[in-house]
Chain A
Amino acid sequence: MRPTMPRAEKAPTTATAPTGKHARREGYEDGALLTVDDVHVRFHTRNGVVHAVEGVSLSLSEGEVLAVVGESGSGKTVFTRRVMGLIAGSRDTEVSGTVTFDGSTLTELDAKGLSAVWGKEIALVLQDPMTSLNPVKRIGAQITETLILHQKLSKQDANARAVELLRSVGLSEPERRVRQYPHELSGGMRQRVTIAIALSCSPRLLLADEPTTALDVTVQAQILDLLGDLQSRLGMAMLLVTHDLRVVRSRSDRIAVMYAGRIVETAPTKDLFDAPRMPYTEALMNAVPPITGPNHVRLAVIPGRPPDLLAPPTGCRFSPRCPYAQDRCLTEEPPLRDAAALPGGAAVDHSYRCWYPVGTPENAQARRVNAERGETAAGTPVTGEMVPA
């Protein structure tokens, strides 16, 4: 058995003092390692303005694993890149909001200031290990680059450290690997190399953007286990971005669900799975084929498709696809609200963006109204497939 990851005990209201460098800090408003406040990213294109990220705020404590879950076009990758500082304002890119890392405001740093943080304090693992490595440089040189730059190691020491790092990410024959080029390695091995590079300077925050999507299922499990082990051993905080809810179920402390550029629900992982409040989260969970029980199960469908960010729907962005949509959803955008006030709501950091949250009498009423008229307020026909029994 792999060692299980220590989980943050959530004590939402009482902020305890941090003990030691990698101590977990409770109550994530103050003492957060990363704070993202009202981040917007808009791209001005020939076809109009793409509202990629709209007012995302979240924070991450030291040693915490936060999963950002969303479908393609939800803005999760643009958001990650903005956090990293890889997307800056320009003639056709409009950015606003602040990203604060350990007290310093990343969004105010220039290129030089950012490069002091990149690789050293914050590291990034990307989806495609085929393209994130330099094809004409040896593996070893790509790892030692950061070590020599940030840790001021001599070339010799850096080489020795590179071998050590490759061994720590489970790569066989590390002495031989440092002499090889990326094309000589398989996808899973390459992803281990990118993880070794990311971890080379013991960063305090790891951003992992779909780190296993390009990999096969058995390799995916190995890489996720590896990330989890390293994360808990090094006490890193991790922002794990993925489209697959199943992947993060046992591998995150908290989940933020993104839809059409916004966070629509955020909660501790267990609470999110136990009692999703946002209809989109609920629908996403039901749309995944189960791996236990009988086969040929009729899957719950989400009608339509993710919205076009050039012209996002007014009101709640999920309303055209939502089985519970009422008139209010079409005109008024719901704010992020605390789930503690809802029936069955616990005092955890659980917030959602919905006028008719799942598990409330209002929701049951909305469901009844839509079932009676055969369609939602947005005109989407209500079928048995849309709403789970």
Chain B
Amino acid sequence: MSSTTDSSVVLHEPTEDQPTGEVVLRLEDLVVEFPAGAGEIVHAVSGINLEVRRGETLGLVGESGCGKSTTGRAIMQLPRPTGGAVHFDGRDLASLSAEEVRKLRPKLQMIFQDPISSLNPRRRIPDIVGDPLVVWGRGAEKATIVPEVLRAVGLDLDQVADRRPHQFSGGQCQRVSIARALVLEPEVLICDEPVSALDVSVQAQILNLLEDMKARYGLTLVFIAHDLGVVRNISDRVAVMYLGRICELGPTEALFDAPVHPYTRLLVSSIPSMEGAQRGELGTGEMPSPVSPPSGCRFRTRCPLATERCAAAVPEMREVAPGRVTACHHPILDTPASAVAGDSTTNGTAPAPADS
């Protein structure tokens, strides 16, 4: 069973510092399921609604197994989602033929976690970067575009000309991946854990580069990562995922400074901090298996605020405070530091609309 949250969610208006561009990418009730053998099903993504506006960076965070990478791949139609729609530039990718999707791909590019294995080890760097141009019949432009893109990502054509991926470090290979993704001048770049395989000292270079490329090429970024510090720094808005669903969506600073969903609060308080962490008891345990997710709210098995209602009804995404959207029956609406409730629901000032 793939229970679905209500899809008629009105997402809040962008805050002042965000580009008020139109929606480039809209996920409607996106569902991705995989067979797990023995008739069981992995509920990887269970009904996600999300809008990405032109020019913004949307961060997608969550722990491993929460479905964030699956969501990124479903946007690319790799593989096609089980249900729901992915609207890109006003067209539903899921309803298009394979060839039509292929024709849209130049505008929708992706970079991956492991920079070395995502490059063909047998080919030379300029060929890897220039290939998309050849595929789209623009091979003649390689000589001008490739050096320019390489320079933009901080590589020198002379320095990479005859070399193959294994001759480069992880950071340099990630630069090559970024160059390959940018060579067709996409509108949307999906970054799936682009820096998690890199050393801290190299990570900063790539993050700064992504910000530069975003400005230079006018990109819209979907930034998928588990490192909250990284996501916090690069994103305009953040969506927090847990076990195939979005539990909170909001402007980055507000979401990190005063999380309204108990899971977001747990995540944020788990970040090891340079300032020295001070944590309370906010929840224990680990994410259950996506093969048999809990009924109702999927976080309830770890949530200190859970009540019977959380087991009975799937919480809908709703606006609980100006600009704050969350799927929780008992959102945390008071000041962040106070009220770490034990088993009571003192925070549960949920304005009623009971769902089925």
| Residue from the list B201, B227, B286 in contact with A287, Cβ < 8 A | B201
Task: Provide the residues of chain A in CB contact with B269, threshold 8 Å.
Answer: 221
Q: Is the CB of B226 within 8 A of A216?
A: yes
Q: A216-B63, A249-B272, A289-B207 are in contact. Are A243 and B229 (CB under 8 A)?
A: no
Contact of B208 (CB < 8 Å), options: A72, A222, A295, A299: A299
Does B199 contact A249, Cβ atoms closer than 8 Å? no
Binds B, one of A81-89, A103-111, A300-308, A369-377: A300-308
In the complex, which range does the number of interface residues on chain B fall in? Answer: 35 or more
Chain A interface: which size bin?
35 or more
User: Cβ of A299 and Cβ of B277 under 8 Å apart?
Assistant: no
> Is B161 in contact with chain A by the CB < 8 A criterion?
no
Indicate if the CB atoms of B286 and A188 lie closer than 8 Å: yes
Give B273-297 as 1s and 0s: 1 = Cβ < 8 Å from A's Cβ atoms: 1111111110110110000000000
Residue of A nearest to B199 (CB): A71
Interface flags for B61-82 (1: CB within 8 Å of A; 0: not) read: 0011000000000000000000
Tell me, rounded to whole Å, the shortest Cβ–Cβ distance linking B29 to chain A: 27
CA distance A217 to B268 in the complex (A): 9
- Does B171 reach chain A (CB closer than 8 Å)? yes
Q: Shortest beta-carbon distance, B38 to chain A, in Å?
A: 16
Q: Tell me which residues across on chain B come within 8 A of A152, comparing CB atoms.
A: none
Whether the Cβ atoms of A2 and B279 lie closer than 8 Å is yes
Is residue B200 contacting chain A, with contact meaning CB distance below 8 A? Answer: yes
Q: Complex formed: what's the CA distance from A249 to B229 in Å?
A: 15
* Interface flag for B98 (CB, 8 Å): no
Interface residues of A in 209-230 (CB under 8 A from B): 216-222, 224-225
Out of A71, A187, A295, A305, which one reaches B232, CB within 8 Å?
A295
Q: What 0/1 readout, one digit per residue, does chain A (250-285) give for beta carbons within 8 Å of chain B? A: 100000000000000000000001000000000111
Give the residues from 195 to 217 in chain B that come closer than 8 angstroms, CB to CB, to chain A: 199-205, 207-208, 211
Q: Is the CB of A306 within 8 A of B252?
A: no
| CB nearest neighbor in B for A245 | B274
Taking CB atoms and an 8 Å cut-off, the chain A residues in 284-302 that contact chain B are: 284-285, 287-292, 294-302
Indicate if the CB atoms of B202 and A305 lie closer than 8 Å: yes
**Smallest CB-CB separation from A73: which chain B residue?**
B199
Interchain CA distance A294-B257 in the complex, whole Å:
11
Nearest-neighbor residue (CB-CB) of A292 within chain B: B275
A217 CA / B231 CA spacing, docked (Å): 13
Find chain B residues with CB under 8 A from A186 CB.
286
* Complex contact B277–A305 (CB within 8 A): no
A72 and B199 contact, CB distance less than 8 A: yes
| Residues of chain B within 8 A of A2, CB atoms compared | 279, 281
Could you say which of A291, A302, A306 contacts B228, with CB atoms under 8 Å apart? Answer: A291
Q: Which residues of A lie under 8 Å from residue B227 when comparing CB positions? A: 217, 289
Contact present for A296 and B233 (CB under 8 Å)? yes
A189 touching B286 by the CB < 8 A rule? yes
Least CB distance, A174 to chain B, in whole angstroms:
15
B149 located at the interface, meaning its Cβ lies under 8 Å from any Cβ of chain A in the complex: no
Whether the pair B271, A217 counts as a contact (CB closer than 8 A) is yes
Determine if A295 and B274 form an interchain contact, defined as CB atoms under 8 angstroms apart. Answer: no
Question: Which of B199, B233, B277 is the one whose CB lies under 8 Å from A297?
Answer: B233
Cβ of A164 within 8 Å of any chain B Cβ, yes or no, is no
| In-complex Cβ contact of A306 among B201, B232, B273, B275 (8 A) | B201
CB neighbours (8 Å) of A71 from chain B are: 199-201
Contacts of B211 in A (CB 8 A): 296, 298
Q: Given A250-B277, A299-B208, A301-B204, answer yes or no on A291-B169 (Cβ-Cβ < 8 Å).
A: no
Q: Say yes or no: is A246 at the interface (Cβ < 8 Å to chain B).
A: yes
Instruction: Please determine whether A220 and B270 come into contact, CB atoms closer than 8 angstroms.
Output: yes
Assess A299 versus B207: contact at CB under 8 Å? Given A290-B233, A306-B199.
yes
User: In whole angstroms, how far apart are the Cα atoms of A289 and B201 in the complex?
Assistant: 11
Interface residues as binary, A293-335 with B (CB distance below 8 Å gives 1, 0 otherwise): 0111111111101100000000000000100000000000000
Asked whether B258 is an interface residue with its Cβ less than 8 Å from the other chain, the reply is no
Q: Which residues of B contact A243 (CB under 8 A)?
A: 199-200
The answer to whether A92 has its CB under 8 Å from any CB of chain B is no
Q: A136 contacts the other chain (Cβ, under 8 Å)?
A: no
A385 an interface residue at 8 Å Cβ cutoff?
Answer: yes
Tell me, yes or no, whether A8 is within 8 Å of chain B by CB. Answer: no
Distance, CA A100 to CA B276, complexed state (A):
32
Interface residues of A in 173-231 (CB under 8 A from B): 186-189, 216-222, 224-225
Which residues from chain A contact B233 at a C-beta distance below 8 Å? 289-290, 295-297, 299
Is the pair B232, A291 in contact by a Cβ cutoff of 8 Å? yes
Known: A188-B286, A287-B200, A302-B201. A218 touches B267 (CB 8 A): yes
Is residue B41 within 8 Å, beta carbon to beta carbon, of the partner chain?
Answer: no
Q: Is B109 an interface residue (CB 8 A)?
A: no
A245 to B226, CA, bound (A): 17
How far does the alpha carbon of A260 sit from the alpha carbon of B275 in the complex, in Å?
27
Of A189, A218, A303, the contact of B283 (CB 8 Å cutoff):
A218
Answer whether A244 and B200 are a contact pair too, CB < 8 Å, given A217-B270, A218-B267: yes
In the complex, the chain B residue whose C-beta lies closest to that of A74 is: B199
Choose from A217, A246, A297 the contact partner of B226 (Cβ within 8 Å).
Answer: A217
A–B Cβ pairs within 8 angstroms, 28 of them: A187-B286, A189-B286, A216-B286, A217-B227, A217-B270, A218-B286, A221-B279, A243-B199, A244-B200, A245-B200, A245-B274, A249-B272, A249-B273, A249-B277, A283-B201, A287-B200, A287-B203, A289-B233, A291-B229, A291-B271, A295-B232, A295-B233, A295-B253, A296-B233, A299-B233, A302-B201, A305-B171, A306-B199
Return the 5 tightest CB-CB contacts between A and B, nearest first. Answer: A216-B63, A299-B204, A302-B201, A246-B272, A289-B233
Since A243-B200, A305-B169 are in contact, a sample of 14 more A-B pairs with Cβ atoms closer than 8 Å, ordered by chain A residue number, is A216-B286, A218-B267, A218-B283, A245-B274, A246-B271, A250-B273, A250-B277, A287-B204, A289-B229, A289-B230, A294-B253, A296-B234, A299-B208, A299-B233
